[in-house]
Structure 1
Amino acid sequence: MDDKNDRRMNPEKRRLLLEIAAREFASSGYERTSLNRIIRECRMSKSSFYYYVESKESLFDLVVEELSKELLGVLDIPEPKQFAANFWTNTADIFERLTALALERPLFADLGRLFHLPGAPTSPGSAAGSALLATRAWLDGVLAEGVTTGAVRDDLPLSLLREATVAVLTVFDDWTLRHRDDLDDTAAAALVRGQLAALRGLLAPGPTERS
């Protein structure tokens, strides 16, 4: 979306567009998302819509970029060194907050689904691709600091630990987002404990390493 045109959009209309588009992408998938349906729900004319949005891909990028910024503002995630100072406490805290946000604010749950959609633009130059690269760079830093503090095992390559961590988080994240309507507070708390236990089993030093 062109910055100049972006500034001209009415803030209320812009927010409505973001929310409706996020819901449409999350529920229909990237390929089956209908721009015509989004236009109708936003009560915009096609000429007005395409004045602000060039394509489905540019709309997807806008949704991911804006909602990711909003989510990061709510989470206020520490830098790697600060995070690793209380590695497992901070890990549990992030899991709890993300799970609560997914249940309490459907818009953030919709955002989470966007990173798992087949066919969605996730190349390095896209909003989703940039967000994933930034997340993995942060994770690399956290794991390296975790090794330094003794919270993370040091017998395996960091790149392997990062890829395994991403795989575990992706499985839990995808399952949670697909079943969020079936989760009550008890089930959500159990999910957080299970995710934390899975990561501890993967990352925490074994008895020999601790001694």
Structure 2
Amino acid sequence: MVARDLSSLDPGRRDRLLRLAAAELAERGLEHASLNRVVTALGMSKSSFYHHVGSRQALVEAVIDAFGTRLVEIIEPPSRQALRADFWGEITALAERLLQAGEQDEVFWQLGRMWHDPATSADGDGLRRWLTDVVDVGREVGAIGRDLPADLQVRMSAAVITSLDAWGVHAPSRDARELLPAQVAALRRLLAPTETA
């Protein structure tokens, strides 16, 4: 379900609504979030809220759509050409940009917490599609081994990245920053070509 008519809200008010909702959903989870707190903090009536948003699930989708789109624009996932030129350098730079986005705007940490809340039903298909492309390039340039099937490498990568991200969005930023190189190194070891004697 898509939010009914958020576009009719003043852009500043719409952004405030989505930020308040992101904070509430990230802190309490979908099942325990209070729309009343969001509506009260915004100074909006319940009837106006439901006119513009429609439902709790529509609000979740509006938050994920608005800030997810911004996040992708900010982190600029590397192209296939860039990955071919410097595979692990590009992956490391992407992880750094993701961390910087959260450090510069708390809403991206909140978005991550929402994404990992099972009740929000976050769709991991986009991540898996992107990883399929990344693994394909990595295998092509020899940065990723060919000893396992590519689809298994995609699943393993998705599981590890999801675990690292779930930890990272709850960790203090300082810890996430200090451990970023080790996290990328762990993923690299997982996918590294098998050394032959």
Place the TM-score, normalised by the shorter chain, in its bin. Answer: over 0.9
Deviations 1:184-209 (A, max 9, x none): 2xx3343111111111110111222x
Give 5+ residue unaligned stretches, structure 2: none
- Aligned mate of 1:149, from 141, 148, 151: 141
What is residue 191 of structure 1 aligned with on the other side? 179
What is residue 205 of structure 1 aligned with on the other side? 193
The normalised TM-score by structure 1 is 0.87
**Residue identity in the other structure for 2:176:** A
Q: Does 1:91 align with 2:83?
A: no
What is residue 67 of structure 1 aligned with on the other side? 67
- The whole-number CA distance in structure 2 between the counterparts of 1:188 and 1:159 is 28
The normalised TM-score by structure 2 is 0.93
Question: Are the aligned partners of 1:75 and 1:97 in contact in 2 as well (CA < 8 Å)?
Answer: yes
* Structure 1 residue 90: Cα displacement: 0.5
- The whole-number CA distance in structure 2 between the counterparts of 1:135 and 1:116 is 13
1:31-46 equivalences under 5 Å are 31-46=31-46
Percent identity, please. Answer: 35
**Residue identity in the other structure for 1:190:** E
* Residue 54 to residue 29, structure 1, CA distance change in 2 (3 Å): same
- The whole-number CA distance in structure 2 between the counterparts of 1:188 and 1:27 is 19
- Aligned mate of 1:140, from 120, 128, 132: 132
* Structure 1 residue 2: Cα displacement: 5.2
- Aligned mate of 1:174, from 153, 160, 166: 166
1:105-120 equivalences under 5 Å are 105-120=105-120
| Runs of 4+ residues over 4 Å off in structure 1 | none
- The whole-number CA distance in structure 2 between the counterparts of 1:105 and 1:34 is 23
Question: Are the aligned partners of 1:153 and 1:204 in contact in 2 as well (CA < 8 Å)?
Answer: yes
**Residue identity in the other structure for 1:153:** G
Q: Does 1:162 align with 2:154?
A: yes
Judge which range, 75-84 or 155-164, deviates more. 75-84
- The whole-number CA distance in structure 2 between the counterparts of 1:103 and 1:207 is 38
What is residue 26 of structure 2 aligned with on the other side? 26
- The whole-number CA distance in structure 1 between the counterparts of 2:49 and 2:150 is 46
- The whole-number CA distance in structure 2 between the counterparts of 1:36 and 1:71 is 27
* Residue 142 to residue 84, structure 1, CA distance change in 2 (3 Å): farther
Deviations 1:30-70 (A, max 9, x none): 10011111111111011110111111000000000110110
Query: 2:143 is paired with a residue of what secondary structure?
Result: coil
* Residue 33 to residue 144, structure 1, CA distance change in 2 (3 Å): same
- The whole-number CA distance in structure 1 between the counterparts of 2:18 and 2:7 is 15
Give 5+ residue unaligned stretches, structure 1: 123-127
- The whole-number CA distance in structure 1 between the counterparts of 2:160 and 2:22 is 25
- The whole-number CA distance in structure 1 between the counterparts of 2:22 and 2:60 is 8
- The whole-number CA distance in structure 2 between the counterparts of 1:205 and 1:64 is 36
